[in-house]
Amino acid sequence: MARWLAGRGAPRVVLTSRSGVAAPGAAGLAAELAAAGTTVGVVAADTARRADVAGLLGWIAAGGPR
């Protein structure tokens, strides 16, 4: 999905997993997307936990783009 979004001109993509940057392949994917011109954030969050999702959405909102 992240590659698809970046390939269609998304200015920013946030990669999320429970492991964050420690997830296998996360650093490589982030570098690939950044090389294509997309700003990439890598965040550790468990999307099954409401508090993690709220924190993630707050972090995204604070950093834009809208």
Q: Tens digits of per-residue pLDDT, 44-57?
A: 999 999 999 999 99
Q: Which residue has the tokens 């940057």?
A: 21
Choose among 4, 24, 14: nearest CA to 58. Answer: 14
Q: Please state the φ and ψ torsions of residue 24, each to the nearest 5 degrees.
A: -55, 125
Higher pLDDT, 32 or 65: 32
The pLDDT > 70 percentage for the chain reads 95
How far apart are alpha carbons 62 and 39 in whole angstroms? 15
> For residue 8, what are the CA distances in angstroms to 16, 35, 60?
20, 14, 20
Is 80 exceeded by the pLDDT of residue 58?
yes
Is 70 exceeded by the pLDDT of residue 40?
yes
Segment 16-26 shows an average pLDDT of: 95
- Across 1-66, the runs of DSSP E, i.e. the strands, are 12-17, 39-44
